[in-house]
């Protein structure tokens, strides 16, 4: 199979054409209930199909949360496999939110699950956890480069508990978060030198306010920044330039409940996603000249 165009280039084009927005597919029990669906395979399948049908042909990125499918066992994974294939066929980039992290052959197996073109769960990118050491991610980083896919590394997450690890200061005076961002900047150097967005991204919460700076972190990594926290968690599109500064044009804001609560009405889901995308685009445009 011919390798894909690098993920960063594909993501930039999708954001330019469809607006800079990532919508989560998070079929947790309470949301299924809100949609009037049962918390079983039938409900999961109906929910997932509706979200993909409503949004895959118009948003830049869809982000299924693997855990909500895994809880149903093999039948849930089958629903996830179909969702990934259908979403990609409709033109959305699929970011698998799996947050995997391990060492050696185990990390290589996780990487192959999501980033190998032969896998039933082959996605455009995957989230990973670096807290067994950044070097433990090497199998995923290398496979992403080989297959034209992307990796999003947890760096400055929006949950308050994350600070005890991510803000910790190393012996050299750098925080753990800043170190992860430095690593990613280095991974993206070749694509940046060619004037393109890199394929190695970081997860940085849109709810952080000034705490990113407090962590000593330079957020620009010449690659994408996945920003959870827009909508239900309290952040707004207008907050993005304040949090991300000059890196705001590389931000991929993630909205889940803020859009999904409008289901199961397909038109309402589409209208909500379009509104969020428009608000983000307006905030980014107002922030200054384009990057990359």
Cβ atoms within 10 Å, residue 2: 6
* pLDDT value at residue 290: 52
* pLDDT value at residue 234: 74
Q: 228: part of which helix (H) or strand (E)?
A: strand 225-228
pTM: 0.95
What is 7-287's CATH topology? TIM Barrel (3.20.20)
Give me 31's structure tokens: 């949301």
Instruction: Name, in order, each residue with C-beta under 8 angstroms of 179's C-beta and a sequence gap of 6 or more.
Output: 134, 170
Q: What is the 3-state secondary structure (H, E, C) of 88-138?
A: HHCCCEEEEEEEECCCHHHHHHHHHHHHCCCCCCCCCEEEECCCCCHHHHH
* pLDDT value at residue 286: 85
* pLDDT value at residue 267: 98
* pLDDT value at residue 215: 56
What is the total residue count of the chain?
292
Q: Are 241 and 217 in contact (CB under 8 A)?
A: no
Domain boundaries, the chain: 7-287
Tens of each residue's pLDDT in the chain, 292 residues = 577 899 999 999 999 999 999 999 999 999 999 999 999 999 999 999 999 999 999 999 999 999 999 999 999 999 999 999 999 999 999 999 999 999 999 999 999 999 999 999 999 999 999 999 999 999 999 999 999 999 999 999 988 899 999 999 999 999 999 999 999 999 999 999 999 999 999 999 988 766 555 555 689 999 999 999 887 667 888 889 988 988 999 999 999 999 999 999 999 999 999 999 999 999 988 876 554 4
Question: Which residues participate in catalysis according to the annotation?
Answer: 99
Q: Which residues pair with 146 in a beta bridge?
A: none
* pLDDT value at residue 291: 43
**Distance (Å, rounded) from C-alpha 24 to C-alpha 255?**
6
The DSSP code sequence of 153-165 is EEEE-SSGGGHHH
């Amino acid at each position: 199979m011919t390798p894909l165009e690098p993920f960063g280039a594909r993501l930039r084009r999708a954001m330019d054409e469809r607006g800079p927005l990532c919508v989560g597919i998070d079929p947790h029990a309470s949301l299924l209930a809100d949609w009037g669906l049962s918390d079983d395979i039938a409900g999961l399948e109906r929910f997932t199909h509706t979200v993909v049908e409503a949004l895959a042909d118009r948003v830049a990125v869809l982000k299924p949360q693997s855990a909500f499918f895994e809880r149903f066992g093999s039948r849930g994974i089958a629903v996830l496999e179909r969702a990934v294939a259908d979403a990609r066929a409709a033109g959305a980039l699929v970011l698998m939110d799996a947050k995997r992290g391990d060492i050696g052959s185990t990390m290589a197996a996780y990487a192959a699950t999501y980033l190998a073109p032969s896998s039933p769960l082959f996605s455009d990118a995957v989230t990973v956890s670096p807290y067994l050491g950044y070097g433990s991610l090497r199998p995923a980083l290398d496979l992403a480069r080989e297959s034209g896919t992307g990796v999003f590394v947890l760096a400055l997450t929006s949950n308050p508990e994350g600070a005890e690890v991510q803000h910790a200061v190393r012996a050299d005076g750098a925080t753990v978060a800043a170190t992860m961002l430095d690593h990613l900047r280095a991974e993206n150097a070749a694509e940046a030198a060619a004037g393109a967005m890199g394929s190695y991204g970081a997860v940085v919460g849109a709810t952080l306010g000034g705490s990113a700076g407090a962590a000593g972190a330079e957020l620009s990594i010449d690659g994408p920044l996945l920003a959870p926290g827009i909508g239900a968690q309290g952040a707004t599109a207008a907050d993005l330039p304040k949090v991300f500064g000059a890196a705001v044009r590389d931000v991929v804001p993630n909205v889940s409940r803020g859009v999904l609560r409008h289901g199961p009405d397909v038109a309402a889901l589409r209208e909500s996603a379009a509104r969020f995308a428009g608000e983000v685009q307006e905030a980014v445009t107002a922030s200054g000249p384009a990057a990359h």
